[in-house]
Each structure stands twice: as structure tokens, then as C-alpha cells.
A and B are shown apart, each in its own frame.
Chain A
């Protein structure tokens, strides 16, 4: 088990609503990355946060946004939810400049 925690575990939202997912990084790690994993597929990189700023972004629209706090924890916000946003959202923590990323258990989001 890594020291990365995520909340909530499961979430059901309606199309058009907004959602906030939370992640606490492993002790000693200052960088948080978010990934979206659709059913039966590999995770897709959303963005990475370091020093409370976005430090790289994948091919996701602006309605996916994030925050990082001084204690290195992070939030992922998704506005105007679409049915295709239904997925497992994974948070990974790492030390800046290190390649090893350690994943949390994920948040299962269902959009109806």
C-alpha cells in the first residue's frame, strides 16, 4: 500500500453537475499527478501539480482543473460533467524530478 489517499471512494453525479475529488500525497512527496482511467483502458494523464502550479497537462479540456495546497495535497475539479467522464480517477504522488509515481486507490465517478 502506498501512502497516497483519495476521497471519496465512489461518487454518482448527474450530467451537467460539478465534482471535486481530493488527494493526499505520500509523505516526502511534493508533486501530484492526476489520471483518468476509463473501464478496460490504461490511465490517461490529466495534469500535474508542483509548487501549487500546473506543471504539465494532457489532452483534457479546460473544464478539468486542479489545485495544489501548501501541504502538497491536491484537488481535481470537473465542471459540466458529461457521461464520458465516468471513470476511475487516479492520483499519483512523486518527488519533483523523480520518475517513480505512486498511485492512490482512486475515486470511481459515475455520471448519469
Chain B
């Protein structure tokens, strides 16, 4: 059962553009929504996270938008750079136990 659905599977953006990745969840018990960035051959790195009592969180060029009623959240990468090229995973967790991941989005930023 895929409880977190992520789209698109792949994304190509020009340098300086905005990258947008979307996720939808089903389990209303989820109370923490992190995004991870993973480079080839590396483990996922925690990028930014949000709780459902907040509609938006911004850290540098990365912003999470959260819509609790629609059970959707998204990652926006402003001024995308070639170094941002990686696979991005949304995830959700309840009670600090099991992270449930989306299927991933492979982002390529063209110079």
C-alpha cells in the first residue's frame, strides 16, 4: 500500500528556474513531513521538514507548501542550480517511528 504518492518521477529544469515536486498522502495520523535529497551512491540527506500546523516553511532556496485539507504538500526549489541535480524523496511519519517515502523524483538542472 503506497501511502505517499510523489510526482513527477523525473523533472528537467533550466538553471535559475523553479523546480516543483508534489506529494499526496492518505494517512491522517502523519504529523511530520520531511524532504530528503539523495545523490548517487549516497544515503538520503534531510533537506527540510514541516508539521501540519504550518502552511509554509522556507529555508534558503527551498520551500515546503502544505495543504492539510487536501492532504498534499510540495517542495519548491527556487533559482535551481546544476548542483541541485539529485533524487528527491518526500516522506511522512507518525509517532517518530516509521518513515514512509514517496517514490522519488529525479531532478536534472541544465546549465
Q: Hey, which bits of chain A sit against chain B, CB under 8 A?
A: 2, 4, 33, 35, 40-45, 48, 55-56, 58, 90, 92, 94, 96-106
| A/B interface sample: 29 pairs, CB < 8 A | A2-B43, A33-B98, A35-B99, A41-B104, A42-B91, A42-B101, A42-B103, A43-B101, A45-B98, A45-B99, A45-B100, A55-B97, A56-B98, A58-B98, A92-B99, A96-B96, A97-B96, A98-B96, A99-B32, A99-B93, A99-B96, A100-B46, A101-B93, A103-B43, A103-B44, A103-B46, A104-B43, A105-B42, A106-B42
Between B89, B99, B100, the greatest number of chain A beta carbons within 10 A of the residue's beta carbon is seen for B99
Pair B43/A90 contact, Cβ less than 8 Å: yes
- Determine the chain B residues whose CB is within 8 A of the CB of A98 once the complex forms: 96
| Interface size grouping (class) on chain B | 20 to 34
Q: Hey, which bits of chain B sit against chain A, CB under 8 A?
A: 6, 31-32, 34, 36, 41-46, 49, 89, 91, 93, 96-104
Residue of A whose beta carbon sits closest to that of B36: A103
A2-B45, A42-B104, A99-B32 are known; give 12 further A-B pairs, CB within 8 A.
A4-B43, A41-B103, A42-B103, A43-B101, A45-B98, A48-B97, A90-B44, A97-B96, A99-B49, A100-B46, A103-B36, A105-B42
